[in-house]
């Protein structure tokens, strides 16, 4: 392994934990890919004194970093998401029913957005309590009603035409 300063090793560790590939780390830190691999191995083995306490969390942190990158979420958005998750759970809703978390988190920018979102969650909870339906069942019911409305639209148009004809006949 190339002789590295503690500062250079910590730079490699930081880049590794941010979810970069070994090639990207090597390019950004100015060391070889093999050196990156050795530093990471030392890190995982707890042989870097400056980072000894984090040895058991290294892979978890890296996986979290990958997940954040894949979701295109900032740590701040994730923190807001955790607050929302807690509030949703307190409402008695199952967070697993919400499949669009990344989209929701990106739309929440400030406390007003959080308050609006929580208000909507409470409204959903009230509908669930009144109807006795789960979120999935409510969604299915809405889709069913939308289909029925689409099926009735031609009849509604025909009714309007008949009303116009009746008005014309009455006028005559």
Q: For 109-156, write each residue's pLDDT tens digit.
A: 777 777 777 788 788 888 888 888 887 888 888 899 999 999 999 998
pLDDT at 98: 62
Contacts of residue 69, defined as CB under 8 A and 6 or more positions apart, other chains included, come to 19
pLDDT at 148: 92
pLDDT for the residue numbered 84: 78
**Sign of the CA dihedral 95, 98, 101, 107?**
negative
pLDDT for residue 91: 65
CA separation, residue 76 to residues 71, 72, 83, 146 (Å): 13, 12, 11, 37
Which residues in the chain land under pLDDT 50? 1
Would you state the pLDDT for residue 1? Answer: 45
Render 100-133 in DSSP notation, one character per residue.
-HHHHHHH--SHHHHHHHHHHHHHHHHHHHHH--
pTM for this entry = 0.38
Give the span between the Cα atoms of 155 and 168, in whole angstroms. 20
Q: What is the pLDDT of residue 128?
A: 85
Burial of 102 (0-12, 13-18, 19+ CB in 10 A): middle
Indicate the helix (H) or strand (E) that contains 53.
Answer: none
CATH number for the segment(s) 6-67 = 1.10.10
């Amino acid at each position: 392994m190339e002789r590295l300063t503690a500062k250079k090793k910590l730079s490699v560790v930081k880049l590794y934990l941010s979810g970069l590939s070994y090639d990207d780390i090597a390019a950004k830190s100015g060391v070889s890919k093999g050196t990156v691999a050795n530093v990471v191995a030392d890190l995982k083995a707890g042989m870097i004194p400056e980072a000894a306490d984090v040895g058991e969390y290294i892979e978890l942190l890296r996986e979290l970093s990958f997940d954040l990158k894949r979701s295109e979420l900032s740590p701040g958005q994730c923190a807001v998401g955790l607050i929302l998750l807690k509030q949703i759970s307190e409402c008695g809703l199952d967070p697993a029913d919400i499949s669009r978390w990344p989209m929701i988190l990106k739309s929440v920018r400030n406390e007003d957005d959080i308050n609006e979102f929580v208000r909507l969650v409470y409204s959903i909870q009230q509908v669930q309590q009144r109807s006795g339906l789960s979120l999935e069942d409510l969604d299915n019911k809405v889709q069913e009603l939308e289909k029925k409305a689409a099926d009735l639209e031609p009849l509604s148009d025909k009714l309007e035409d008949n009303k116009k004809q009746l008005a014309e006949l009455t006028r005559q």
